[in-house]
Amino acid sequence: MNLRQILYHQLHIGAKTDGRLTLLNIVLVWVIIAAVVTAIMSTEVEFDRQWHDEILMAELVFGIVFLAEYAARIYAAPEHPGPGSALSKRLRFMLSPLGVIDLVVILVTFAPIFIANAAALRVVRLLRVVSIMKFGRFTAATKEMAMAIRERSYDLLVCIAFAFVFLLCGASALYWIEGELQPEAFGSIPRALWWAVITFTTVGYGDAYPITSAGRVVGSLVAITGVLLVALPTGIVAAAFSDAMQHRREEIQKALEKARERGELDDEDTREDT
């Protein structure tokens, strides 16, 4: 393999037959973790004052690593299977969501080195936490979760619609029952909706609550229904995610079997990977 093929194999998730991370990707994952931890700790005034020079040096190293990764991905982009010229594939990567995230991470990583304004620096330090978004390409779970939600979108939509109808009914009931007694909390349906949402999600801040018997009955119904309805989308997503991961395991098994048939893996390697 030439250099571009080697870089593509090392950087692209899924290039390995077993779907596992390459050594280079594992290193990048640890760099991202270190960058995020550094960005979080640098917002602590005492820590930043004591380790200011070390933080700047670390940010410089992170920026160089992320810049090198970005350049390598652009260089290796033509190896991505599919139609299109080398230039079009590189532009497609640069304009893709992950490509834009990579560029933003590089900019906000280097920014503290060149920004002296304290207020602007605080904003940049906050933005550096977006480095965590780079994890999206290093885990198949992100794609599987998105696929699971997409496949169960109708079921989730039904749950959300039913929850909204019930919230609206609960807020309307409290507005009718206690609107005149507590105008600040229930003087309108939008005001009562705040109470309904907080009660429905079982948070219950206590800043608004019914004082009449009828209002408390409605509040109890909203709270009990909230417990039941919140569990529904959780179960739907969990079941979909389980199905998606099972599908992924089956695909990996098929890929390993094909690789073994081509002589790329022996039986012992197949057993170890599975």
Looking at residue 270, its pLDDT comes to: 44
Domain positions in the chain: 3-138, 151-273
Architecture of the domain delimited by 151-273: Orthogonal Bundle (1.10)
3-138 homologous superfamily: Voltage-gated potassium channels. Chain C (1.20.120.350)
Same fold, 3-138 and 151-273: no
- Positive or negative: CA dihedral 149, 153, 156, 160: positive
Question: Which alpha helices (H) appear in the chain, and where do they start and end?
Answer: 3-11, 23-41, 45-50, 52-76, 86-95, 97-114, 118-127, 140-151, 153-178, 183-186, 189-200, 213-261, 267-273
Looking at residue 91, its pLDDT comes to: 92
Looking at residue 75, its pLDDT comes to: 92
User: What is the residue-level pLDDT of the chain in tens, covering all 274 positions?
Assistant: 788 888 888 887 655 555 567 788 888 888 888 888 887 887 788 887 888 888 888 888 988 998 999 999 999 888 888 888 889 989 998 998 888 888 888 888 787 667 665 555 556 666 666 666 676 566 666 666 777 777 788 888 888 888 888 889 988 998 899 888 888 888 888 888 888 888 888 777 777 878 888 889 988 898 888 888 877 888 887 887 787 777 777 777 777 777 677 765 555 444 444 4
